[in-house]
Amino acid sequence: MIGFDYGTSNCAVGVMEGNRPAILPLGDHGRYIASNLYAPSREVIVNWLYRQLPSAEQATFKQQRALALQKGQAEIRELALDGIPAELSFGRDALTHYLQEPDEGYYIKSPKSFLGASGLLPPQIELFEDIVAAMMSNVKTLAEAALGRNITQTVIGRPVNFQGLRGEESNRQALAILTRAARRVGFKDVEFQFEPVAAGFEYEASLDQETRVLVVDIGGGTTDCSMLLMGPRQAASQDRGRDLLSHSGERVGGNDFDIAFALKGMMPAFGLNSSLASGKAIPANGYWQAVAINDINQQTEFYSAANGRFLRQLVRDAAQPELVKRLLTVQQHKLSYRVVNAAEQSKIALTEHTHQQVDLSDIDDGLSIRLDREGFGLACQRELNSIASLMKDAIDQAGTQPEVVFVTGGTARSPVLNQFLQQQFQHTPIVIGDHFGSVTAGLTRWARHVFS
C-alpha cells in the first residue's frame, strides 16, 4: 500500500517504514517527479499506455480506444520514417524535450489542473484520462522498482475543490478520471483523502495534546484550508470526520503565482501596457491567453490561426512593433510554457535572492528581464488576497480561532508569502511543514489506517 500524491506540480509516493512514512526514490527523478509529460505526437499517448497496461486490462482498453489506437498506429509509422521513437518522457526529461523543440511534439504540464474543467467533450475526457494513466503508470513502475514488489492499494490526495465552474459536478468528474486511470494501471483498491487533511497528519504526529490547527496547503493548482482538531487521541481514530471542523478551497496555487508573475513581470517586455500607433492601448487579452497555461480554452484561442493573423496585424499597428513581435514569436513557436517556466524558476530563485535576471534571448536576441521580490509581491496581490479569504472562510465556518497555523506546499517557501502570512496571523504560531513532502507523508499514514 502507498500514499500517492498525484500533485499539480510534482508526484511523490510514500510507504510506511515502521511507524514513520518514507518517501520513495523514483529512479533518476529523486523523490519528486515533476507532473509533466512529453510525447512526439499527442496521438501516440494511447498506444504507449496500451503497452504498459496489465494484461487483464488490455482487451477492454483496446475495445474502448479502438479508433484512437488506429490513429496512433498510423502516427507511429510516420514518426518511424523520420527516425523518431514513439516513446513518452516524464518529469524533467519531458521539460527538456519541450525546451529543445517547443513547436514540435506534445507537451503538457499539470494535467490535474484540467480534470474538473467545464465543457470537456468525451474525447477530451478520454485524452486526459489517458494522460493521467500514463503518468500514474510511470510512477507506479518506478515505485515498484524501488520496493521490489507490486503495489495494488493506494490513497491518492485530492484538493477540496478541483478547478471547475460546476462545483461538486466538477469534483465528481475529476475524481472519476483519477479513479478510472488508477484502476486501469493496476491499483485494485483506490481511496482518496483531502490534501490539507493529509498534510496535517504529519504535523499531528508531533503533538502531545489536543490542538486546533488551521492547515493551509498551497499546492500547484489549488489552495486548500482545513480547520482540524489534532492530537494523540484524534490520531488513533479511524473516523476523522468529527475532527474536521471546516474546509475551504479554490483553484489558486503555485501555477497561478507563476502565471501572474509572467504576465505582470515579463509581458511588458512583449508589449503589454504599450500603445498602438494611434495612441490607443494595446489589447491586453492576448497577453493573458499567452500565459494561461492552466486554461485549455484560453490556450486554444491563443494558438488559433485567427489569433496568429490578429497578432501579425497588431505588429503592424503597434507604436513599438519590436515588442509585439515577441508575442507573435511566442504564438508561432508555442512558447507559452517556456515563458511561464522562466517565471516559475525566477520565483524559486527569489526565495534565496532579492532579484533575478531572466535570459530570453532564444525568443529575441538580447532579451533579458530583471525581476525582483517586490515585483513578485505586487504581481501576485490577487492570489495572496484569495488565500487570505480562504483562510478566513475556514475560520468563520469553524466558529473558532486556530491555536496553530500549519502551512505546506512549494509556494510556502517564498519569503513574500511568509511575510504575508505573518501579517495575517500576528498572534498565532505559524509552522512551516515539509514544503513538498507533508501531503505524501499524510497520505501514507492514512493508507495504513484504511488498508490495515
Q: Give ∠ CA 227-248-440 in degrees, rounded to 5.
A: 70
Domain contains 215 = yes
Domain contains 40 = no
Are 247 and 388 in a shared domain?
Answer: yes
pLDDT at residue number 118: 83
Are 270 and 374 in a shared domain?
Answer: yes
Number of domains in the chain: 2
Question: Contact, 29 vs 51, CB < 8 A?
Answer: no
pLDDT 10s digits, 334-387: 999 999 999 999 999 999 999 999 999 999 999 999 999 999 999 999 999 999
CATH number of the domain within which 395 lies = 3.30.420.40
Are 267 and 290 in a shared domain?
Answer: yes
Residue 125 grid cell: 475526457
pLDDT 10s digits, 172-227: 999 999 999 999 999 999 999 988 888 888 788 889 999 999 999 888 888 889 89
Are 357 and 311 in a shared domain?
Answer: yes
Are 318 and 419 in a shared domain?
Answer: no
Q: Is the pLDDT of residue 241 over 80?
A: no
Q: How far apart are the first and last CA of the chain?
A: 9
Calculate the dihedral angle through the C-alpha atoms of 58, 64, 68, 74, rounding to the nearest 10 degrees.
Answer: 50
pLDDT 10s digits, 72-120: 999 999 999 999 999 999 999 999 999 988 888 999 998 998 898 888 8
Rounded CA-CA distance 414/428 in Å is 19
pTM, two decimals, is 0.82
Are 262 and 330 in a shared domain?
Answer: yes
pLDDT at residue number 336: 95
CA–CA distance from 219 to each of 189, 196, 334, 343 (Å)?
Answer: 25, 9, 26, 17
String of DSSP letters for 81-93:
HTT-----EEHHH
pLDDT 10s digits, 282-331: 999 999 999 999 888 899 999 999 999 999 999 999 999 999 999 999 99
Are 220 and 281 in a shared domain?
Answer: no
Q: H or E segment at 383?
A: helix 381-398
Q: Is the pLDDT of residue 161 over 90?
A: no
Are 290 and 366 in a shared domain?
Answer: yes
Interacting residues of 360 by C-beta distance below 8 A, sequence separation 6+: 266, 269, 339, 342, 367, 368, 369
Domain contains 284 = yes
Are 293 and 274 in a shared domain?
Answer: yes
pLDDT at residue number 235: 81
Per-residue pLDDT band for 233 (boundaries 50, 70, 90) equals confident
Residue 59: helix, strand or coil by DSSP? Answer: helix
Domain contains 444 = no
Domain contains 298 = yes
Per-residue pLDDT band for 164 (boundaries 50, 70, 90) equals low
Are 259 and 369 in a shared domain?
Answer: yes
Rounded CA-CA distance 311/63 in Å is 43
CA–CA distance from 449 to each of 29, 43, 198, 234 (Å)?
Answer: 29, 40, 12, 13
Q: How do strand 89-90 and strand 36-39 relate by DSSP bridges?
A: antiparallel
Question: Contact, 3 vs 182, CB < 8 A?
Answer: no
Are 328 and 411 in a shared domain?
Answer: no
Domain contains 157 = no
Are 242 and 261 in a shared domain?
Answer: no
Q: Is the pLDDT of residue 251 over 90?
A: no
Range of the domain at 363: 255-379
pLDDT at residue number 11: 95
Task: Spell out the long-range contacts of 380-387 with Cβ–Cβ below 8 A and sequence spacing 24 or more.
Answer: 380/257, 380/260, 380/261, 380/416, 382/260, 383/252, 383/256, 383/257, 383/260, 384/417, 384/420, 386/223, 386/250, 386/252, 387/216, 387/218, 387/223, 387/252, 387/420
Rounded CA-CA distance 75/69 in Å is 10
Domain contains 24 = no
Domain contains 119 = no
pLDDT at residue number 159: 86
